[in-house]
Amino acid sequence: MLRTSFQGVARLVRHKALYRSPCLLPRVHLASAFGSSTESLVARFCPEKTDLKDYALPNASWCSDMLSLYQKFLEKTKSGGWIKLPSFKSNRDHIQGLKLPFGLETASDKQDWRLFTRSIQLEGQGYEYVIFFHPSEKKSVCLFQPGPYLEGAPGFAHGGSLAALMDETYSKTAYLAGEGLFTLSLNIKFKNLIPVGSLAVLDIQVEKIEDQKLYMSCIAQSRDKQTVYAKSSGKEICSLSLGCLPLPHPQQRGGKMRAKSQILSWSLGLLGVGMLLARDMDEEKGNKVRITQPATQDSLK
């Protein structure tokens, strides 16, 4: 019964008429209704089979440092809890069926969007990078090799290109660690320039998750850690907190069961409200709105 109820709510949320009513139903993704665990987020993010091209794979432009470190981390994915993240040309490909919170939906769905860090398509000319994520320790490592199209000062990568890659790694880490969606702040201290074509290793750590915000830190350095290129901190906001109704806190250690039962009771309450509203609109608009699962209503009575 619960499963059909939630399916019904999800369908209602997707229906246009309800979207237009301001802030009545926040985004209710089926998995999120139970508070997405990192495991389920990773499973959705890393499809087992896909036709999409994965750009985070070695190619002829990768320097030997990058190749050898990549192999080392690949070994760790077999035994030690690390996961290699795929990298597609658009975030829409990563997060299939992502519904942005009300008010942030954009009208069109253009096919020629490209993720900024995958926009320069010529091999070796722009961003060459791969991210490895450790779900239990909530940390990431990004291997980054800037190409000549990312130049700022002659022979060195533009500060903005490193900022962009830091933001990108923060985004992916925050999404998988706690459904982080938008960056709230980014503070970068540049220490040394990265020569074009050389390897920079970015180590990202989630420091804490508080008030629906993820706080992370990053250090970008050379492989031998002798040269620090930059240090930064970033803050991302969780997508669940972007709705208008008070939301349960994201899962924290020791509070899993409490969070789940809170979400459950909150969702059932919303379901009731949603059903009532849908019925009212149905009367107003002369049956233009159709609830596709009449059985759901009956099961609530």
Query: Active-site residue numbers?
Result: 167
Amino acid at the residue 229? Y
Q: 79 to 98, contacts with other proteins by CB under 8 A?
A: 90-92, 98
Binding of residue 166 to other proteins (CB under 8 A): yes
Q: Minimal distance in Å, beta carbon 254 to other proteins? A: 31
Q: 43 to 62, contacts with other proteins by CB under 8 A?
A: 60-61
Q: Which of 25, 41, 150, 204 binds other proteins (CB under 8 A)?
A: 150
Stretch that binds other proteins, among 16-24, 117-125, 203-211, 245-253 (CB under 8 A): 117-125
Stretch that binds other proteins, among 30-38, 75-83, 148-156, 251-259 (CB under 8 A): 148-156
CA 172/CA 236 separation, integer angstroms: 10
Q: Which of 69, 83, 141, 181 binds other proteins (CB under 8 A)?
A: 181
The closest of 301, 292, 298, 241 to 9, measured between CA atoms, is 292
Binding of residue 196 to other proteins (CB under 8 A): yes
Q: Which of 31, 43, 104, 273 binds other proteins (CB under 8 A)?
A: 104
Q: 220 to 259, contacts with other proteins by CB under 8 A?
A: none
Q: Are 273 and 24 in contact (CB under 8 A)?
A: yes
Stretch that binds other proteins, among 6-14, 114-122, 210-218, 245-253 (CB under 8 A): 114-122
CA 300/CA 238 separation, integer angstroms: 31
Stretch that binds other proteins, among 21-29, 30-38, 67-75, 185-193 (CB under 8 A): 185-193
Q: Which is nearer to other proteins, 123 or 284 (CB)?
A: 123
List all residues 6 or more positions away from 187 whose beta carbon is below 8 Å from its beta carbon: 232, 233, 234
The closest of 14, 1, 59 to 300, measured between CA atoms, is 1
How far is C-alpha 211 from the geometric centre of its chain's CA atoms?
18
Distances (CA, A) of 59 to 70, 147, 225: 12, 13, 24
Q: Which is nearer to other proteins, 186 or 247 (CB)?
A: 186
Rounded to 10 degrees, the C-alpha dihedral 27/29/30/35 comes to: -90
Rounded to 10 degrees, the C-alpha dihedral 154/129/182/150 comes to: 20
Bridge partners (DSSP) of residue 142 are 131, 202
Q: Minimal distance in Å, beta carbon 13 to other proteins? A: 18
List all residues 6 or more positions away from 251 whose beta carbon is below 8 Å from its beta carbon: 35, 37, 259
Q: Minimal distance in Å, beta carbon 274 to other proteins? A: 25
CA 138/CA 127 separation, integer angstroms: 24
Q: Minimal distance in Å, beta carbon 17 to other proteins? A: 22
Residues of this chain that bind other proteins (CB under 8 A): 60-61, 90-92, 98, 100, 104-106, 110, 112-117, 119-120, 122, 124-126, 148-156, 158-161, 163-168, 171, 181-190, 192-193, 195-197
